[in-house]
């Protein structure tokens, strides 16, 4: 694949990923496979994909500034520290995973993230019902957050759904607060895991910077589209993309 075609493919995938993340999530279903298909090794592709979509978390967090300011500052700092530790731990776990092993589990990670994305609304409803019944689970809230953060540092797919389910079951009654905490902790663990990847030299900088710019532009456009496009259509497209990518990676692994 020539350099111009490669750049167009990566920029297009990142732009679409930024738009998807702004509308319904699932952008990593595009950025990670695009990098692998252009010849980037899977572990480096995963790290570079995390870099590409990371700027979008800042805008999402700032959008819920009022909800975050209404929460106890001490609790926010504590949960940010847990997310940071989990993000770094997940990144380090990825970095010590042998390349061949990671390539073998990639299809399963993609399939898991796809199923998680498809089940997202049902998970949210069930979590909300459990929270309403008083199952707040404060004792496992922080260990649960650490586990989700480790997963997010290792592989970002489906992270937002896991965080929203965690906070809802843990007793957060307001959806905006759940979203605010999800965005804040996604930002922290994503940026810390990316920092670990940078220190370890696991980032492919040329495609990574190109994709960061394209994903940011896609997020800006996607925020406008989100007011016009039926979210369910977008969700179905993301699920179809995830299933196709999972099948392709299973085929590549079998070959």
| Number of Cβ within a 10 Å radius of residue 199 | 12
**Is 251 exposed, middle or buried, given 0-12, 13-18 or 19+ CB atoms closer than 10 A?**
exposed
What gap in Å lies between CA 109 and CA 180, rounded to an integer? 26
**Does residue 46 carry a pLDDT above 90?**
yes
| Average pLDDT of every residue of the chain | 85
Across residues 45-64, what is the average pLDDT? 86
pLDDT tens per residue, range 125-180: 776 666 555 444 467 889 999 999 999 999 987 787 788 878 877 777 787 888 88
Q: Which pLDDT does position 255 carry in this prediction?
A: 65
Which has more confidence, 21 or 65? 65
Contacts of 180 (CB under 8 A, 6+ apart): 61, 64, 67, 68, 71
Confirm if 18 and 217 have CB atoms less than 8 A apart: yes
- Domain membership of residue 171 as a residue range: 3-254
Across residues 32-36, what is the average pLDDT? 92
Q: Which pLDDT does position 135 carry in this prediction?
A: 46
* CA angle, residues 11, 94, 138, in degrees to nearest 5: 105
pLDDT tens per residue, range 195-208: 999 999 999 999 99
Across residues 92-116, what is the average pLDDT? 90
Q: Which pLDDT does position 236 carry in this prediction?
A: 83
Q: How many domains does the chain have?
A: 1
């Amino acid at each position: 694949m020539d350099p111009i075609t490669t750049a167009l493919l990566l920029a297009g995938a990142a732009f679409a990923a930024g738009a998807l993340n702004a509308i319904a999530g699932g952008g990593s279903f595009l950025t990670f496979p695009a990098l692998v298909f252009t010849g980037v090794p899977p572990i480096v592709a995963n790290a570079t994909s995390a870099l590409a979509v990371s700027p979008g978390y800042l805008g999402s967090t700032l959008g819920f500034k009022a909800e975050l300011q209404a929460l106890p500052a001490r609790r926010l700092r504590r949960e940010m520290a847990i997310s940071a530790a989990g993000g770094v731990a997940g990144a380090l776990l990825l970095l010590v995973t042998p390349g061949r092993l990671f390539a073998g589990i990639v299809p399963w990670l993609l399939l898991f993230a796809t199923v998680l994305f498809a089940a997202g609304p049902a998970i949210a409803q069930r979590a909300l019902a459990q929270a309403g019944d008083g199952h707040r689970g404060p004792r496992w809230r922080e260990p649960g957050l650490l586990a989700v953060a480790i997963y997010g540092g290792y592989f970002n797919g489906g992270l937002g759904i896991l965080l929203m389910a965690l906070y809802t079951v843990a007793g957060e009654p307001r959806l905006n607060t759940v979203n605010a905490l999800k965005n804040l902790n996604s930002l922290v663990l994503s940026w810390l895991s990316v920092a670990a990847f940078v220190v370890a030299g696991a980032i492919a900088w040329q495609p990574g910077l190109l994709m960061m710019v394209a994903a940011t532009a896609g997020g800006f456009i996607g925020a406008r589209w989100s007011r016009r496009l039926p979210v369910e259509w977008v969700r179905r497209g993301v699920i179809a993309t995830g299933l196709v990518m999972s099948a392709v990676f299973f085929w590549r692994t079998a070959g």
